């Protein structure tokens, strides 16, 4: 079953939370969220200032917060300029986040207008990486931890650490909308098909992704359910995947590590 991959891209309205998603740099996503009841607006990461500034003006929203997922330049480059012109507060993980006002960690909660945001630590891509989950709106902002049909490179952490982070995301409700840091879905689909060439859901999804990209559209957000059905990095407990990799009796973390290493070397 293919769910909401074909949904109108970049536009979503859940509860009182409006979400606008747009491309920054070359393949980063800028995301603005706006709580209609309170008028509070936040940017999820700030890959660069100008497109975010433009979208804020377009929607007549004033920036109150930047929620940073991790320290990489392509997620924080707009922090200081946007803070200086808007006076917004920057919330992010402990570590080197430009302009950060408040550090948050596992289990912390804070209010975004009328909505509660929960912090989930998801280290692996970087050691400081966090995910922001808004349960009442059914959305999570996962940065570079999980991608549609893929996951982030394990740069600072270890394979078991990254797998543990993905397991946390697997425990979110199936219908959670997942907003990711990058539009990498088409390349991820090519790799996923090398791991699971016979997965009918994956074959169908890859076809839809190709169509959307050919039409110049984005393929995010995704959902936890769709990733459970088609993302090889989340399907490490499936017997057919394990068998194909010759890892029938390995741990989930070991199977994850093998798939991640293959992806690192994949030139598709």
> Which segment (4-12, 136-144, 194-202, 205-213) binds Zn ion by CB under 5 A?
136-144
Q: Which entry of 74, 128, 129, 177 is annotated as an active-site residue? A: 74
Interacting partner of 47 out of Zn ion, Fe ion, none (Cβ under 5 to 8 A depending on kind): none
Q: Which helix (H) or strand (E) holds 254?
A: helix 252-264
Q: Could you tell me the two tokens for 185?
A: 């879905």
Which listed range, 15-23, 101-109, 142-150, 218-226, lies at the site for Zn ion (CB under 5 A)? 142-150
Q: Is position 182 annotated as part of the catalytic site?
A: yes
- In the annotation, is 111 catalytic? no
Q: In 3-state terms, the chain is what percent helix, strand and coil (to 5)?
A: 35, 25, 40
Q: Which of 35, 128, 144, 177 is catalytic?
A: 144
243 catalytic? Reply is: no
Footprint (CB under 5 A) of Zn ion, residues 58-87: 72
x/- track of binding to Fe ion for residues 102-141 (CB under 5 A): ----------------------------------------
Q: Is 144 in the site for Zn ion (CB under 5 A)?
A: yes
Contact pattern for Fe ion over residues 154 through 193, marking x by CB under 5 A: ---------------------------x------------
Nearest CA to 176 out of 236, 135, 146 is that of 135
Among 35, 45, 64, 74, binds Fe ion (CB under 5 A): 74
Q: How far apart are CA 81 and CA 83, in angstroms?
A: 5
Number of other residues whose CB lies within 10 A of the CB of residue 50 = 12
144 lies in the binding site for Fe ion (CB under 5 A): yes
- State yes or no: residue 30 binds Fe ion (CB under 5 A): no
What is the end-to-end Cα distance of the chain in Å, rounded?
A: 26
- What is the rounded CA–CA span in Å between residue 114 and residue 215? 37
Catalytic residue status for 164? no
Q: Which helix (H) or strand (E) holds 90?
A: strand 89-93
Contact present, 45 and 76 (Cβ < 8 Å): yes
**Could you tell me which stretch among 22-30, 39-47, 143-151, 193-201 binds Zn ion (CB under 5 A)?**
143-151
- The pair of structure tokens assigned to 81 is 């300029």
**Residues that bind Zn ion in the complex, under the rule CB under 5 A:** 72, 144
């Amino acid at each position: 079953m293919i769910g909401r991959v074909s949904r109108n891209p970049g536009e979503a309205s859940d509860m009182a939370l409006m979400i606008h998603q747009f491309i920054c740099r070359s393949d980063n996503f800028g995301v603005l969220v706006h709580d209609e009841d309170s008028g509070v607006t936040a940017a999820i990461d700030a890959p660069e200032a100008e497109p975010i500034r433009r979208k804020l003006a377009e929607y007549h929203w004033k920036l109150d917060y930047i929620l940073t997922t991790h320290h990489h330049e392509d997620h924080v480059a707009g922090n200081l300029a946007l803070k200086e012109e808007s006076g917004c507060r920057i919330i992010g993980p402990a570590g080197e986040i430009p302009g950060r006002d408040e550090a948050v960690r596992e289990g912390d909660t804070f209010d975004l207008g009328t909505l509660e945001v929960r912090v989930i630590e998801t280290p692996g891509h970087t050691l400081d990486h966090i995910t922001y989950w808004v349960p009442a709106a059914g959305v999570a902002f996962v940065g570079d931890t999980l991608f549609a049909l893929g996951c982030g490179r394990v740069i600072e952490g270890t394979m078991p650490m990254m797998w543990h982070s993905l397991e946390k995301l697997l425990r979110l409700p199936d219908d959670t909308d997942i907003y990711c840091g990058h539009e990498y879905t088409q390349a991820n689909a090519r790799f996923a098909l090398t791991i699971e060439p016979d997965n009918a859901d994956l074959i169908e999804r890859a076809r839809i992704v190709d169509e959307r990209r050919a039409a110049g559209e984005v393929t995010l957000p995704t959902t936890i359910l769709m990733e459970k059905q088609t993302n090889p990095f989340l399907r490490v407990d499936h017997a057919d995947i394990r068998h194909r990799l010759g890892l029938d009796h390995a741990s989930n973390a070991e199977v994850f590590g093998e798939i991640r290493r293959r992806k690192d070397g994949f030139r598709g």
